[in-house]
A and B are shown apart, each in its own frame.
Chain A
Amino acid sequence: DIQMTQSPSTLSASVGDRVTITCRASQSISSWLAWYQQKPGKAPKLLIYKASSLESGVPSRFSGSGSGTEFILTISSLQPDDFATYYCQQYNSYSRTFGQGTKVEIK
């Protein structure tokens, strides 16, 4: 199975900060990567697919980049609604795998 590793596991930031989260795959997954946001007690929400395509309705402050084995989720200016846990997910193989998550906390 393809392993997905996110860093950091926890991130403390302030409103207005630029935030980056990294996701590394154990082997190349081309651009077959999605990012999700999850708030406590809620289901995850799709933010980004195919590494850099913004899902409809998602604010443009979210962006994704990368290909192969290294990917980045960027929040250009952190808003109060963005404090949540973020997950990457590969869909290069039918055995889908998620990263362990990155919790974005208020500094």
Chain B
Amino acid sequence: EVQLLESGGGLVQPGGSLRLSCAASGFTFSGYGMTWVRQAPGKGLEWVSTIIHTGGSTYYADSVKGRFTISRDNSKNTVYLQMDSLRAEDTAIYYCVKGRDGYYSNWGQGTLITVSS
């Protein structure tokens, strides 16, 4: 069974940093691209970032480009999202998602990031 377990969420001040982790199990992690999708309170889904299976290519939404960095450690079956220069509008639930040919077959339970002073 595929499991995706996010951690690292919490309250952070504007301008601060946070690193999210997602521990994956139940599938061959090194064979799949991984993605972060977020959802602001009461709002819709927003794609944030994707990293291909090797880690060799990464992609970002314009709203986070230059502030967020996605990475992965295939030896630890873990994907990360380093979030710097956080803004109030980054407040959201962040979901770790397993990609399959561009769509998202498995989702974690999400971790809440609140950016507030």
Contacts and interface: CB of A to CB of B under 8 A. Distances in A.
Interface of A: 1, 32, 34, 36, 38, 43-46, 49-50, 55, 87, 89, 91, 94-101
Given A46-B103, A95-B61, 12 more contacts: A34-B103, A43-B107, A50-B103, A55-B105, A87-B44, A89-B103, A91-B101, A91-B102, A96-B50, A96-B102, A98-B44, A99-B44
Contacts of A100: 44
Contacts of B109: 43
24 contacts: A34-B103, A34-B104, A43-B95, A43-B107, A43-B108, A43-B110, A44-B104, A44-B107, A45-B107, A49-B103, A50-B103, A55-B105, A87-B44, A89-B47, A91-B101, A91-B103, A94-B50, A95-B61, A95-B62, A96-B102, A98-B46, A99-B44, A100-B44, A101-B45
A46 B102 CA distance: 12
B54 to A, nearest CB: 15
Nearest to A94: B59
The main secondary structure of chain B at its interface with chain A is: strand
A44 to B, nearest CB: 6
Nearest to A56: B105
Name the 4 nearest CB pairs between A and B, nearest first: A91-B102, A34-B103, A43-B107, A96-B47
Contacts of B95: 43-44
